Amino acid sequence: MNIPRVIPVLLLRDGGVVKSVRFKDHTYIGDPLNAVRIFNEKEVDEIAVIDIGATIQNSLPDFDLIKQIAGEAFMPMSYGGGITEIEHIRRVINNGVEKVILQNAALSDPGLIREAAGQFGSQSIIVCLDVKRNWWGRYEVRSKNGRKKWKGTPQDWAIRMEDAGAGELIIQSVDRDGTMKGYDHHLQGMISNVVNIPVVALGGANSLDDMKACKQAGASAVAAGSFFVFQGPHRAVLISYPKRSELLEAFKD
C-alpha cells in the first residue's frame, strides 16, 4: 500500500493556533511559526493552515502572517480562510503557498474554482466540504464554520466541485472534529467513490490504524488537528508526528 499523505492542520484565530471540538470550545495551542518549525523538524508530508477567525469575522486573509508561515515551511502548505476572490488567491500563492483551500466562496460560485484552476492549475485549488449529520442522520454540507447549510448531498457537491476544476477535496466531519474518536470512514468512502480527484479525510483521527482504514475506504490523504497537538487523556499540548518507520509499518500491505 502506498503511504497516504499525513497532514497536520493548524487552525488560526487572532494570529495564534487553536483547536476546536465539533467546531466549538477552542483551546489555545501556541504560536504558528513555532508550530511550523516543529513540523519541519519532524519532516511532515504537508501542512494545512486554516484561519477560522477570517471566516467567522468575514475578514481578509492575513497576508503578512501567511507569508511568514510559508517562509518557514519546507514542506507543501495549503491555506484557507477569508478567500472570496481571485485576487486573494493570487496573493496567497505569491506569498509562498502551494495550494489554497476554498469553501464558502466555492460553494456560492463554482465559477471562482474554474477561473482559479485556469490561472493557477487545478493542483493548487482545494475545496473543503464540512459535512455534518442533521437530526435525521442525513449528511449535510456546511460552511461558515458550520453555521451555513447547503441544499444537496455531499456527493453532489463533491462532483460539482470536481467538475468546476478543484484538484483535491478535504472532507471534514464536523461531528468528529476534535473528538479523536475515529474518522467517519463511511463518509470518506462515500465521497471517494464518486470523484476521481484525491480526497483528504479530516475529523476524528485517533490512530495510525484509523488512518489506514480511511485509506482503505478510498481517501488519498489523511489530515488531523488534535491527533498531532494533544497528548494523553488530559489533552496536554505537545506537538507530535509519527516517525517515517512507524508510517511504513502502519501502512505496509
Partner 1 sequence: MSIVIVDYGSGNLLSIANMLRKVGCPNVTISGGPDEIEKADKLILPGVGHIDHGMKGLRQANLIDVLNDKVIDKQTPVLGICLGLQLMTEKSEEGMSKGLGWLEATTIAFDKNRMNGEKLPHMGWAEIKYNRSHPLFKGLGPDPRFYFVHGYHVTTENKNLILCKADYGYDFTAGLFRENIMAVQFHPEKSHKFGMKIMKNFAEL
65 binds partner 1, rule: CB under 8 A:
no
Q: Which residues lie across from 169 on neighbouring strands?
A: 127, 199
DSSP 8-state code for residue 246 = H
User: Whole-number minimum distance, CB 71 to partner 1, in Å?
Assistant: 5
32, 80, 82, 167: residue in contact with partner 1 (rule CB under 8 A): 167
User: Whole-number minimum distance, CB 27 to partner 1, in Å?
Assistant: 28
User: Whole-number minimum distance, CB 166 to partner 1, in Å?
Assistant: 11
76, 85, 108, 144: residue in contact with partner 1 (rule CB under 8 A): 76
21 binds partner 1, rule: CB under 8 A:
no
CA nearest neighbour of 54 among 121, 118, 123, 101:
101
List Cβ neighbours of 167 (8 Å cut-off, separation of 6 or more): 99, 117, 121, 122, 123, 124, 125, 126, 197, 198
Output the nine-digit C-alpha cell for 19.
483547536
**Pattern 215-244, binding to partner 1, x per CB under 8 A?**
-----xx-----------------------
210 binds partner 1, rule: CB under 8 A:
no
Q: Assign residue 218 a region: left if phi > 0, alpha if psi is -120 to 50, beta otherwise?
A: left
110, 198, 204, 242: residue in contact with partner 1 (rule CB under 8 A): 198
Span from 2-10, 16-24, 52-60, 131-139 in contact with partner 1 (CB under 8 A) = 2-10
Long-range contacts of range 243-247, CB-CB < 8 Å, 24 or more positions apart?
A: 244/43, 246/208, 247/3, 247/6, 247/208
245 binds partner 1, rule: CB under 8 A:
no
Task: Kindly report the length of the chain.
Answer: 253
Specify whether the CB–CB gap between 201 and 188 falls below 8 A: yes
173 binds partner 1, rule: CB under 8 A:
no
How many residues bind partner 1 (CB under 8 A)? The answer is 35
Specify whether the CB–CB gap between 187 and 139 falls below 8 A: yes
74 binds partner 1, rule: CB under 8 A:
yes
Q: How far apart are CA 113 and CA 135, in angstroms?
A: 31
2 binds partner 1, rule: CB under 8 A:
yes
Active site residue 31: no
Q: Residue holding cell 476534535?
A: 178
Q: Residue holding cell 493552515?
A: 49
Question: Which is closer to partner 1, CB of 57 or CB of 123?
Answer: 123
User: Whole-number minimum distance, CB 121 to partner 1, in Å?
Assistant: 3
Which residues are known catalytic residues?
A: 130
Contact set with partner 1 (CB under 8 A)? 2-5, 40, 43, 45-46, 67, 70-71, 73-76, 93-98, 118-124, 167-168, 196-198, 220-221
